[in-house]
Amino acid sequence: MNVEAILRSKGSWVATITPEAGVVEAAALLARHGIGALVVCNPAEKIVGIVSERDITRALGAVGSAIANLHVADIMTREVHTCSRRDSVDKLALDMTQRRIRHLPVVGDGELVGLVSIGDVVKSRIDELQQETNALHRYITDGR
């Protein structure tokens, strides 16, 4: 299984935000869409960061109510790791675990084409294991 299969299943829509947007706006977008991260893009639509619920929570703990005066650029993670459509789910699981990240933007031909979360990776792996289990069960019971 690869990233392309995940995107076919879940879709390729990605919520984005600009670095100049307010942190409160970012939190509202996360809540509205029921997601955990926004890809931060400049006006040329190039990835310049990622901002997650975790980033917002850490900033809130550090500055309290002054968070309302911060911009996404003030709290976003600037070193963004990405993946491609061809990457395997196993590779993503390893990268996400080693880097301790929960979201990977998917880039193709220099463009943002999707976003994969650790939940997507886990769901994909569970689906794959279920298919293997079903195939083994059929083989044992039906001989095929």
Residue 129 sits in a domain of what CATH number? 3.10.580.10
The pLDDT, as a whole number, for residue 135 is 82
Q: Work out the pLDDT band at 144, boundaries 50, 70, 90.
A: low
Q: How many domains does the chain contain in total?
A: 1
- Checking if the pLDDT of 122 tops 80, the result is yes
Question: What residue numbers bound the domain in which 79 lies?
Answer: 3-142
CA quadruple 55, 8, 120, 111: dihedral sign:
negative
Q: What is the mean pLDDT of the chain?
A: 94
The pLDDT of 106-113, averaged and rounded, is: 94
Q: What's this model's pTM, rounded to 2 decimal places? A: 0.88
